[in-house]
Amino acid sequence: MTRALLIVDVQNDFTEGGALGVIGGDAVAAGITRHLEDHAGEYAVIVASRDWHDADSDNGGHIVPEGSDAAPDYVDTWPPHCIAGTEGAEYDPGLDTTAVTHHVKKGQGKPAYSMFEGVTDDGSTVAAVLAERGIETVDVVGIATDHCVRASALDAIEHGQHVRVLIDLIAGVAREPSDAALAELAHAGAELATSGSGGTPA
């Protein structure tokens, strides 16, 4: 098998009730779990990423600390979220990670949107994991369409992968930028599909 599933940031702080909760986040978690139940065996690698920001730090300007005079702009700066070791940084409970082969943490003191900027606990990058297993095709799912899903999918294309974005297994912050992100990905060569359209790529 030369295909992988990339699960982007399905974390408590990005689903309903979280610090930066996205509407539909819990449904995405449940949908990915169902997809894994049916298709996990068809992927050679299953990578799940998490934002993992340092506590008591602005993480390279990425986070505006509580009590600061500045306000987050929700483009380049954000309220505290996915702080290492907190409940908000953990996977959404609706996501069954049993089949995940590689867990990636990104951020860790600096801004990071793409899972390709993160590393596994042993220091491996996503690009290295995919290369080691001869992966040529990836399905991308997760949160948020207009931020980390977009960045991760674009980086996957940049690394020579054939990319499918499963649009029924993603959720965005807002409709307009999410639609723009999907249009950008399609223009860059990604295929937009659904998890029910043949499962994994041929």
User: What are the residue numbers of the active site?
Assistant: 9, 106, 148
What is the maximum alpha-carbon separation in the chain? Answer: 53
Report the candidate in 82, 110, 84, 109 with the shortest Cα–Cα distance to residue 8: 82
DSSP 8-state secondary structure symbol assigned to residue 34: H
Beta-carbon contacts of residue 171 (< 8 Å; ≥ 6 apart): 22, 23, 24, 25, 27, 28, 143, 144, 145
Over its C-alpha atoms, the chain yields an Rg (Å, rounded) of 16
- Is residue 181 within 8 Å of 167, Cβ to Cβ? no
Question: What is the rounded distance in angstroms from the CA atom of residue 30 to the CA atom of residue 68?
Answer: 36
Beta-carbon contacts of residue 186 (< 8 Å; ≥ 6 apart): 192
Residue whose tokens read 């041929």? 202
- Please name every residue paired with 163 in a beta bridge, in sequence order, or none if there are none: 138
- Is residue 144 within 8 Å of 28, Cβ to Cβ? no
